[in-house]
Structure 1
């Protein structure tokens, strides 16, 4: 059963966290949840472990506020994989029980809960401590990417080759922040990553049906990561993006590759829709293209050297 009705919720972050807790209660043998941090508005940022293995893979979504359709996608991916596990099913000749005995998926469905609530609720959501920044029309919030104080979370990670198109002031997108890891949301991901030492990661974003997989790897690592990205491209139909070197960026994927030398993908899931949240009409297509992505990615990360 899909969680797509949450896409219309006026209490999105609260309802998402309730859905996460309900999933864990119903499937205690294979799922556990825990808080990795608090947003600026003190909303818990939750992680869900799915699996029993020692090796871990991160799947995260909604660094960008308007890309909250990916939170729904991750919740549905979890339910889908749990169903496969409980029925002892296989996908692409991969036994799900065998896979989940070897690895654990760590899902973080809602990195930016305040931003997602802002996109859905507008100015009525903003608390007094941030209200002075928002003398804006309701329509503007549907294009919002940043967190509640105007920091673009996917520009808040330090790298050797930072983005060249950042902006200097808080706003809807592009502001790196006063310093790297200035925001509690990115600190939560940093602490989680440092404690788990993931074998690989997928960051879900929303618009363009593209896969970004490079960040200045050595040639051997680049070949490995290309092989993985190509297989995910074949599964989804998304285009692989190759960028001129040096690759530039301050996203989670960029920081992860640079620091951990492991495979990482940024997945843009919908047809290009411009500066707005993805229309709900695309969701079933997105889910079908991505339901097996964590499973296939995990197999390839474990087998391709």
Structure 2
């Protein structure tokens, strides 16, 4: 929601009127120096939206303020030029409406277009969110990073490395939405205050590493590549088993952590729906984008959301730090997932991060069953990962 600056206005005043932490208002208006608000300038107020109201007989600004649960001054700010003592029947006015419910709800077929729409909605309602494009997929779809917070500690979480594990994306997006609601409504999350987490951490979210693959699973192949992709899928139009990117390379077998071992032992020796590690490490633009992001941001810890198995992996060849074991114990306790230190696997994103940086890295296998998991598991998975999300930010 936008308001126009009046003489004497300040971010502090807006914070008091709308009961929004001033830090969120400052971060929603990064282009404006807080000491230089010019009359007529537009300022973003996060966590609110405008709704139009038509004046009824007997209406007053006092009654409208009471109805909106807002101070009269907030209504005056939103309606410059409206004379509160001369409201006309049928006149339209703007009322501020606090956002108290999540906007990430429809998760039945969460493809790339759905993700884009939800990112745009979140950015409109919560402009303290920063959205970065860190690269492009094979088909030219942008790979988005959501950046949240002002803390010194950089933490990264990603989802949908694998195409048929797309349910991880709405899980992660709803976690972000829940965090935003807690910040702007000054609510607690499972007994934890949200604003200190915003100050403690800068959170990097890549909600869909493999947009082409997700679209393939949910929509089928694009017309221009239909025959080529059908051939990789043994002629079958059923892509529910597809994990790779659109070129048939498994993005989570693309990283330079003993990649040669995986290359040698993986059964597919050419592009396939799953497990083919490519001809060289980091051959695929999606994997390159993720590697460059890590190299640029130097994260303190990373989490990768996959499915399924209700377990998580955190060790790699004995180079994982002591902190990883402490976090693993906490994650196991709050999620009910099984903690697995070592598995016989290489060349994954987490493997590479732990190997290259010797910092905590975790791969979570969400839910149980056969991929793609049924949407009916979403509520339970979300609740389990909310606990993991809070431990990650609070520990």
Instruction: Verify same fold: TM over 0.5.
Output: yes
Q: Measured at CA, do residues 126 and 235 of structure 1 come closer, stay the same or move farther in structure 2, by a change above 3 Å? A: farther
Displacement of 1:93 in angstroms is 5.1
Q: Secondary structure at the match of 2:182?
A: helix
CA distance in 1, matches of 2:142, 2:363: 24
* TM-score normalised to structure 1 length: 0.89
Q: 1:217, 1:261 within 8 Å by CA — same for their partners in 2?
A: no
CA distance in 1, matches of 2:223, 2:278: 19
Which residue among 318, 321, 325 is the counterpart of 1:217?
Answer: 318
Displacement of 1:4 in angstroms is 4.7
2:228 is matched with which residue? 132
Q: Secondary structure at the match of 2:331?
A: helix
The higher relative CO (CA closer than 8 Å, separation ≥ 6) is in 1
- Runs (4 or more) in structure 1 with deviation over 6 Å come to none
> After the TM superposition, which residues 1-305 of structure 1 pair with which residues of structure 2 at under 5 Å, given as runs?
1=102, 3-8=104-109, 12-29=111-128, 31-91=129-189, 94-123=192-221, 125=222, 127-128=224-225, 131-135=227-231, 136-139=235-238, 141-160=239-258, 162-163=261-262, 165-166=265-266, 167-218=268-319, 221=321, 223-243=322-342, 248-271=345-368, 273-274=369-370, 276-300=371-395
Q: Which runs of 5+ in 2 are unaligned?
A: 1-101
Displacement of 1:51 in angstroms is 1.0
CA distance in 2, matches of 1:4, 1:151: 31
Q: 1:43, 1:113 within 8 Å by CA — same for their partners in 2?
A: yes
CA distance in 1, matches of 2:103, 2:383: 12
Bigger Rg, which one: 2
Displacement of 1:92 in angstroms is 5.2
Q: 2:335, 2:387 within 8 Å by CA — same for their partners in 1?
A: no
Q: Which runs of 5+ in 1 are unaligned?
A: 301-305
* TM-score normalised to structure 2 length: 0.69
Q: Deviations over 1:279-299 (max 9, x none)?
A: 011010101111132221122
Displacement of 1:6 in angstroms is 3.7
CA distance in 1, matches of 2:123, 2:360: 28
